[in-house]
Chain A
Amino acid sequence: MPIIDQGYQHWSGELSGQAWRWLAITRRGVKTALQGRWIRLAILVAWLPALVLAFVLCMWGLVERQSDLVETFKPFLTGLLGRPVVAGPREYRVEIWTLCFHYFLTWELGFIMILVLMAGPNLVSQDLRCNALPLYFSRPLRRIDYFAGKLGVIATLIGLIVIGPILVAYSLGLLFSLDITIVRDTLPILFGSITYGVIVAISAGLLMLAMSSLTRNSRYVALLWLGVWLITGTVSVVLIQVDQAQRSRAVGARYHRWDNEQFLSAELDAAKHDWRPLVSYTANLRRMEESLIHTNAAWQKLIELTPVGQRGRLMFNLVDTQYPWYWSAGVLIGLAVLSACVLNLTVKSLDRIK
């Protein structure tokens, strides 16, 4: 039978508006990404810190309520946090929540880098490799819709492992505390964490899209991403350590001890003007996290509770985030602008239609 005998029906449905056109690209991209076994596994593993976060927040709720259920853990908590914290937990609610979210976000940053590494390289480079851009640009799509759709894929994946778990853990923490004032105290932490997630999604997404548009070979994109993540981090650490070694030589090796509070205070002062962490992409993201959920203030309060002479361990946590947050914001904005320029130059619709 000739194939034309199977008929053709006209279609009279409604087409959606232009504003949501990018969503089709995001939907397709997320579906494709989630078909990958390794990406699904990475997401599952990335949820483990969220389980821990939810568990700790629930436990803290019980501690605040002086519940009998946590009596067994009290000696452990006293040893870990100190007697004043366990005796008056509501006084330290903000600090404990802040540090819980801080540790969660620190872990998740690693998973974000891995997930972007797995899902990102193909986003634009595959379209270039397969000459698939005409599929998009011969349809009612602008380049901004295309980029937004591809960015949405990365944003969705990051949302799945950061923003979603944060909302669930926060809700569980509220439920277990049974105290309405906790909303007032912890809402800035929630907003700060979500804002951080959005910043990471936009920054990492744009950067990955720009890299992905530079080559048709996804493996090169993956290598570039590894370079941005690991090499910039390593270079930054090396530069910082060289600088510290110079200071150490100047003051003498016996003075240069991380449990020496005087030395740490001097290091904190030096870190306020240190540009070297800016070399690391992830350090810049971590600096933004600190400025959004105020981790330093939480550490500071816990340091004040600790007897002099035992504060070194806690002060050490402050060293990385002493320089002004807007330096890192500037670096991230610069990278985002650069990425947007690269995308603008490399993905040109009409050049691809032959």
Chain B
Amino acid sequence: MPTLFQFTNVSKTYGAVRALDDLTLAVPERAIGLLGPNGSGKTTMIRTLLGLIPVDCGTGEVLGLDFSRRQLEIRRKVGFAPEDECLFPHVQGVEFVAYAGELVGMSPIDALQRSHEVLDYVGLGEARYRKVESYSTGMKQRLKLASAIVHDPKLLVLDEPTNGMDPAGREEVLELAHDLAHNKGINLIFSSHILPDVEAVCDYVIVLGRGKLLAQGEISALKQIHEQAFDVRVKSNTGAFIERLSAQGCSAEPNGDLLRVRIPASASPQILWEAAAAAGDQIRHLRPQRSTLEEVFLNAVEKP
């Protein structure tokens, strides 16, 4: 799969703070989730990708373009929707998006025509002639998205796109981001603290911490199935069931309304059925344990 961007030994410091620390990674073209706690280097990475800041050392490419030398070309191919509101008042939605297109280099006529198209796409067709200051938070977020895709970029960077949104608005933005990334052939970098959002949109994640790469890979691969751990629910007598399991060398601990059971390495899942039968109980739910993205994230961040 072609590489979306790659960093080779990239470091960037702000005074005593090391924002990117000898970062080396290569990321394939697809929907990428960018995860990391505050101060992990996500914003610096986005700035570097857009060619906005010079790095102290190291090299890298975005869409095959050197980010140290071909910044303007990169920004022509990238659409960026920042976290901040960044909308100025007294301008209609359609004018705002057209202006964003003109700033990239579209002719005024093309920009206006395209502005109407993308506003229809993001669901702001009815509100296109309203002043932007009258938009709701969700509408503003979609307007920023429309401004970022007006020139049909190869890569779309969304920085915390669902911050401060109500559930319905959040759902709409996630649907749009997912559609752009999976059906329209636009590569996506989705930076967010909200892990379910990343999981809903992306199929690949990068986890950063203190400027270093902590984990990266396909979400499906990171959320591996645990062969010897199961989530179990029995019909009634949980206590007796746990006792039987302990006798068989299993460990069991409550996990919500389920039990998380670890069986010995040499045992098969059959042991669970036998323990339930011995306790006079029935198994109503049995599923191999799968790591959530949250666990993947926490494991990566808490790694020494």
When the two chains form their complex, are residues A6 and B120 in contact, meaning their CB atoms are under 8 A apart? yes
Closest residue to B105 on the A side, CB-wise? A15
Q: Whole-angstrom distance between the alpha carbons of A134 and B148 in the complex?
A: 11
What are the residues of chain A within 8 A of B13 when measuring CB–CB? Answer: none
Which of A93-101, A135-143, A293-301 forms part of the interface with chain B? A135-143
Bound-state Cα–Cα, A257 to B82, Å = 67
| A17 interfacial contact with B, CB 8 Å | yes
Given contacts A7-B121, A28-B102, A350-B47, contact A131 B84 (CB under 8 A): yes
Q: Is A76 an interface residue (CB 8 A)?
A: no
Name the CB-closest residue of B to A138. B80
Stretch from A19-27, A44-52, A58-66, A261-269 contacting the other chain: A19-27
Q: Would you call A24 and B103 a contact (CB within 8 A)? A: yes
Complex CA–CA separation, A287 to B222 (angstroms) = 74
Say yes or no: is A72 at the interface (Cβ < 8 Å to chain B). Answer: no
Say how far A147's CB is from chain B's closest CB, in angstroms: 14
Q: 0/1 per residue, A1-39, Cβ < 8 Å to B?
A: 011101111111101111001001101100010010000
Nearest Cβ on chain B to A155's Cβ, whole angstroms: 19
Give the Cβ gap from A244 to chain B, nearest Cβ, in Å. 49
A28 CA to B112 CA, complexed, in Å:
13
Chain A, Cβ-Cβ closest to B175: A4
Q: Which of B112-151 contact A (CB under 8 A)?
A: 114, 117-118, 120-123, 125, 147, 149, 151
- Let me know if A132 is at the binding interface, CB within 8 A: yes
- A344 contacts partner chain B, Cβ-Cβ < 8 Å: no
Bound-complex Cα distance A10 to B107 (A): 16
- Residues on A with beta carbons closer than 8 Å to the beta carbon of B47: 350, 353
CB distance from B156 to the nearest CB of A (A): 12
Contact B85 A131 (CB under 8 A): yes
Q: How far is the CB of A23 from chain B (nearest CB, A)?
A: 9
Contact: B82 with A134, CB < 8 Å? yes
For A177, what are the chain B residues with a Cβ–Cβ distance below 8 Å? Answer: none
| A78 interfacial contact with B, CB 8 Å | no
Please determine whether A3 and B103 come into contact, CB atoms closer than 8 angstroms: no
Q: Beyond A3-B175, A13-B110, A138-B82, is A127–B103 a contact (Cβ under 8 Å)?
A: no
Please tell me which one of the listed residues A21, A126, A350 contacts residue B103 in the complex, with CB atoms under 8 A apart. Answer: A21
Is A8 a contact partner of B121 (Cβ separation < 8 A)?
yes
Beta-carbon contact of A140 and B84 below 8 Å: no
Are the C-beta atoms of A11 and B151 separated by less than 8 Å?
yes
CA distance A11 to B112 in the complex (A): 13
Tell me if A3 and B176 are in contact (CB < 8 A).
yes
B176-188 to A contact mask, C-beta < 8 Å, 1/0: 1001100111000
Nearest to B71 among chain A residues (CB) is A140
**Residue on B with the closest CB to A7?**
B121
Residue B99 interfacial (CB < 8 Å): yes
User: What is the distance, in angstroms, from A129's C-beta to the closest C-beta of chain B?
Assistant: 8
Q: In whole Å, how far is B167's beta carbon from the nearest beta carbon of chain A?
A: 15
| CB neighbours of A28 from chain B (8 A) | 99, 102
B78, B123, B125 — which one has the most chain A CB atoms within 10 A of its CB? B123
Residue of A nearest to B89 (CB): A130
* A15 and B104 form a contact (CB under 8 A): yes
- A127 and B84 CA atoms in complex are apart in Å by 12
Query: Is the CB–CB distance between A8 and B175 below 8 Å?
Result: no
Tell me whether B104 and A139 are in contact (CB under 8 A). yes
In the assembled complex, the CB of B93 is this many whole angstroms from the nearest CB of chain A, namely 14
Interface check A349, CB cutoff 8 A = yes
CA distance A247 to B304 in the complex (A): 83
Within 8 A of A (CB), among B40-83: 43, 46-47, 50, 52-53, 72-73, 75-76, 78, 80, 82-83
Least Cβ–Cβ distance between B253 and chain A, in angstroms: 41
A138–B117 CA distance with the chains assembled, in angstroms = 22
B53 touches A350 (CB 8 A): yes
Q: Which residues of A contact B83 (CB under 8 A)?
A: 354
Find out whether the CB atom of A354 lies under 8 angstroms from the CB atom of B82: yes
Q: Which residues of B contact A24 (CB under 8 A)?
A: 99, 102-103, 108
Q: Inside 8 A of A8's CB, which chain B residues have their CB?
A: 117-118, 121, 149, 179-180, 184
A13 near B172: Cβ-Cβ < 8 Å: no
Instruction: Give the complex CA separation of A18 and B73 in angstroms.
Output: 10
Q: With A and B bound together, what is the CA distance between A4 and B179 in angstroms?
A: 7
Q: Does B265 contact A (CB under 8 A)?
A: no
Q: Say yes or no for B16: interface residue by CB 8 A criterion.
A: no
Bound-complex Cα distance A319 to B72 (A): 53
Give the Cβ gap from B15 to chain A, nearest Cβ, in Å.
14
Known A11-B114, A132-B86, A139-B100; contact A3-B152, beta-carbon cutoff 8 A: no
Known: A6-B123, A137-B52, A350-B47. 6 other contacts (CB 8 A): A2-B175, A6-B120, A11-B151, A24-B108, A140-B72, A353-B52
Binding site for A on B (CB under 8 A): 43, 46-47, 50, 52-53, 72-73, 75-76, 78, 80, 82-91, 99-100, 102-108, 110, 114, 117-118, 120-123, 125, 147, 149, 151-152, 172, 175-176, 179-180, 183-185
6 smallest A-B Cβ distances: which pairs? A15-B105, A3-B123, A24-B102, A11-B152, A138-B80, A140-B72
Listed by A's residue number, 16 A-B pairs whose Cβ atoms lie within 8 Å are A3-B121, A8-B121, A8-B180, A10-B152, A13-B110, A15-B105, A24-B102, A24-B108, A25-B103, A130-B85, A138-B82, A139-B75, A349-B52, A353-B43, A353-B82, A354-B84
